[in-house]
Amino acid sequence: MHHLTLVEYLFGLNAWQAQFVGAGLITLLFLLVGIIVSRHYKKQGEKAAVPAGKFSLVNLVEVMVEKLDDFTVGIIGEQHGRKFSPLIATVFLFILFMNLLGNIPGMPAPTANINLNIGMSVFVFLVYNYYGFKEHGPGYIKQFMGPVWWLAPLMFVIEIISHLVRPASLAIRLFGNINGDHIAVGIFQNMTYLIIPVIFMGLGLFVAFIQALVFSMLSAVYIQLALSHDH
């Protein structure tokens, strides 16, 4: 079940096109914020290290970056955590804002499109395997063999299947939860425009945050496992 959004109606787009327009808007927002913050630091120089006495966009970005850095280091560890903080922070914020876009009346949630989610999931899959080989060299294959040599052929097949399932599970989980929330809100809006839809929109904000957190957390866990020497 798909409910026509305002963007689709006004611009004559189909659902797929509207969702990718939303993703493009979020990308432009990220670029704009990045330009503003970088210009601030360039203008302020060493003074930029001193916190401002009032709330600003730069303060908000600094707080988010600090919290996401701590989040990433807490999962991956001190040795490699900060190296991957920009990646995990970008994944989290990009998915969060795309999820939140669907809570604005008349706007589609880009993450309700399985194709976009698969693209992000495959990217995470390629990244953690790339750094796994970079960290361990050919020895990375040993992680797929298990602890017992005579079970290595069986374990290799099981591990390969397990790794291939990871991007699929990331994409489907995000798609199912965001699309389900969008459908639920649409159903209750068709029934009544008072109180009940507002409750589900509030729940949608929670779902948007949790799904972004789960996706980025699992991405960090996969990177940590790929880098680990404990296997």
pLDDT digits (tens, 9 = 90+) for 133-171: 999 888 888 888 877 777 788 888 999 999 999 999 999
Report which residue type is found at 162. S
- The C-alpha torsion from 9 through 15 and 19 to 21, rounded to 10°, is -50
Is it the case that residue 92 has pLDDT exceeding 60? yes
pLDDT interval class at 192 (50, 70, 90) = low
Q: What is the pLDDT of residue 100?
A: 83
pLDDT interval class at 226 (50, 70, 90) = very high
Helices 57-76 & 81-101 angle (0-180, nearest 10): 120
pTM (two decimals): 0.80
In whole angstroms, give the CA distance from residue 25 to residue 98: 9
Is 84 contained in some domain? yes
What's the token pair of residue 30?
Answer: 């990220």
Is 1 contained in some domain? no
Report the half-sphere exposure of 81 (CA within 13 A, side-chain side). Answer: 15
**Total residue count of the chain as it appears in this document:** 231
Is 91 contained in some domain? yes
Q: How many domains does the chain have?
A: 1
Is it the case that residue 189 has pLDDT exceeding 80? no
In whole angstroms, give the CA distance from residue 154 to residue 170: 25
pLDDT interval class at 105 (50, 70, 90) = low
In whole angstroms, give the CA distance from residue 149 to residue 175: 39
Give the percent of the chain with pLDDT over 70: 73
Domain that holds residue 164: 6-227
Q: What is the pLDDT of residue 203?
A: 77
The dihedral sign for the CA sequence 28, 29, 32, 34: negative
Is 193 contained in some domain? yes
Is 23 contained in some domain? yes
The answer to whether the beta carbons of residues 224 and 77 sit under 8 Å apart is: yes
Angle at Cα 133 formed by Cα 131 and Cα 137, nearest 5°? 135
Residue 229 burial by CB count (10 A; 0-12/13-18/19+): exposed, middle or buried? exposed
Instruction: Tell me the per-residue pLDDT of 161-186, one tens digit each, with 9 for 90 and over.
Output: 999 999 999 999 999 888 887 777 66
Q: Which of the pair, 220 or 195, is modelled with greater confidence? A: 220
Is 115 contained in some domain? yes
In whole angstroms, give the CA distance from residue 225 to residue 220: 9
Is it the case that residue 207 has pLDDT exceeding 80? yes
3-class DSSP string for 131-168:
HHHHHHHHHHHHHHCCCCHHHHHHHHHHHHHHHHHHHH
Nearest in space to 104 (alpha carbons), one of 8, 3, 5? 5
Q: Which of the pair, 167 or 17, is modelled with greater confidence? A: 167
